[in-house]
Amino acid sequence: MVVQRELSEAEVDRVFHALATSTRRDILRRTIEREQSVSTLASEYDMSFAAVQKHVSVLEAANLIIKRAEGRERLVRANPEMIARARALLARYEELWRSRIARLDDLLAEPAPTQQTTEQKEQGD
């Protein structure tokens, strides 16, 4: 049984940094579908091989992808464990915001005290 620990602040920063660029999100999407070589990935983008390699390095530093050598090629695949951990983090953020919105909705649904009600309370004291 795999126990998922919470991501450290540094890991969260690396994940969000890695996902902040559309090219890296696309690389991650492609490697979720199937393992690919860095050169195959590079052929899909209008940028240099070195630029794609840097994007792959950022994803690898965030542990969102795993890179391995096979002969002269470097193969890249998504890391489902880290993706699941990032998803769990986002789910916690979503729950936090949903609970805050629900509390706000409850506050807004309460009837506002009228001036008469306030005066009556003051007279009763």
- pLDDT tens for residues 73-85? 999 999 999 999 9
C-alpha 94/C-alpha 82 separation (Å) is 18
pLDDT of residue 16: 94
pLDDT at 49: 95
Output the pLDDT for position 1: 47
Which residue in this structure is represented by tokens 């009600």?
A: 117
97-125 mean pLDDT: 74
Q: What is the value of pTM for the model shown?
A: 0.74
Is-contact 38 56, C-beta < 8 A?
Answer: yes
Q: Which sign does the torsion angle of CA 55, 30, 67, 74 carry?
A: negative
